[in-house]
Amino acid sequence: MLYIFAFIFIIFGLFLILWQASLLYVAIFGSPTVYANSKAVRDSLKLAKLKEGELIVDLGCGNANSLIIAAREFGSRGVGVEISPWCYLKAWWNVLVNGQVGRVKIIFGDFKKGEKYLKKADVVYLYLLNETLEKFEDWYFESISKKTRTVSLAFWFPHSKAVKTIETFNLRKKTKIYLYKK
């Protein structure tokens, strides 16, 4: 009986280490994992005028909540890219549990893994820090098409001008959503 408890304790400890290491890695090399509330996501998708059948890409999709809302409520198809192993697994699980496997695809890796989808994207949803947006701003705008509408929740591209900005509430604070076009 003692061996069973020891085994369970070891498995739980390994799970905690994987979880924390995954979140730490993303916080150091990208943006920390913070989940936007559903209202802010809906407001972002409304600002982008996401339509049924359109393709939405979420770079750094976290738990895939934005893609699930887009598929369920707007009738879109989605692709999420996530570098954190923990968040990737959580996103994949959320897509499965919410019955969106046929509409939403989750890719494990950095943003460049989603590059082929960016050219096809009608909408790109971003919830990334200003520093992260600045690092990949040039590459990003070279990778999207002229038809792509980009919404960025709470953070902005430093060298590109938003065509429209609205206010919303996220994490119990008033914040802005920025709409960009190429």
Q: Return the percentage of the chain with pLDDT > 90, whole number.
A: 77
The mean predicted confidence, pLDDT, of the chain is: 92
pLDDT one-digit tens code per residue, 64-89: 999 999 999 999 999 999 998 889 99
* Domain range enclosing 99: 3-181
d(CA 77, CA 86) in angstroms, rounded, equals: 23
pLDDT in tens, 89-148: 999 999 999 999 999 999 999 999 999 999 999 999 999 999 999 999 999 999 999 999
- Contact predicate 81/61, CB 8 Å: yes
Q: What is the pLDDT of residue 9?
A: 77
Query: How many domains are there within the chain?
Result: 1
pLDDT above 90: residue 33: no
Q: Is the pLDDT of residue 174 over 70?
A: yes
pLDDT at 164: 98
Is the predicted pLDDT of residue 27 greater than 80, yes or no? no
Exposure b/e, 104-114, CB count within 10 A at least 16 = b: bbbbbebbeeb
Average pLDDT over residues 24-49: 84
Picking from 179, 132, 115, 116, the residue whose alpha carbon sits closest to that of residue 153 is 179
The domain spanning residue 65 has which CATH number? Answer: 3.40.50.150
Residue 164, φ and ψ in degrees, nearest 5: -155, 145
